[in-house]
Amino acid sequence: MMDLPIELEDGASKGRYVVRSEAGTEAEMTFTKVGAHQMIIDHTEVPDAFRGQGIGARLVARAVEDARASGRTIIPLCPFAASQFRRHPEWADVLRKNA
């Protein structure tokens, strides 16, 4: 299951990263865009079918990769995403610093 692709559904102001199982179960991480250079990770949902497989961590890591590529910073309001940022100090370059 670790090879399931992460899809990006990108809207005008909101979006989500989603992983779908063959059975149609979805794990998702939603975000809100703040201007052109910031995004807020507001929610991560990983159903029991995906638990223990690192899917949530993969979703946050993908957002970090995309933020780096697009010059965005991330505000991790979601408690899970915030905990992932604490575990990965190497992501500090995309973490929005408190002004």
Measured in Å, how far apart are the chain's first and last C-alpha atoms?
Answer: 40
pLDDT band at 26 (very low <50, low <70, confident <90, very high): very high
Q: What is the edge-to-edge ordering of all strands in the sheet holding 7-10?
A: 7-10, 14-20, 26-34, 38-45, 73-76
pLDDT band at 3 (very low <50, low <70, confident <90, very high): confident
* Per-residue CA distances from 43 to 26, 46, 64, 80, 83 (Å): 14, 10, 15, 8, 13
> According to the model, what pLDDT value does residue 99 have?
44
> According to the model, what pLDDT value does residue 97 have?
75
Q: Which amino acid is at 72?
A: R
Q: For the segment 28-57, what is each residue's pLDDT rounded down to a tens digit?
A: 999 999 998 999 999 999 999 998 999 999
- Please name which of 35, 32, 62, 56 lies closest in space to residue 44, comparing C-alpha atoms: 56
DSSP state of 92: G
Beta bridge partners of 9: 16
Helix (H, G, I), strand (E, B) or coil at 87: helix
Q: Where are the domains of the chain?
A: 7-94
For domain 7-94, give its CATH number from 3.40.50.150, 3.40.630.30, 3.30.420.40, 3.40.50.620. 3.40.630.30
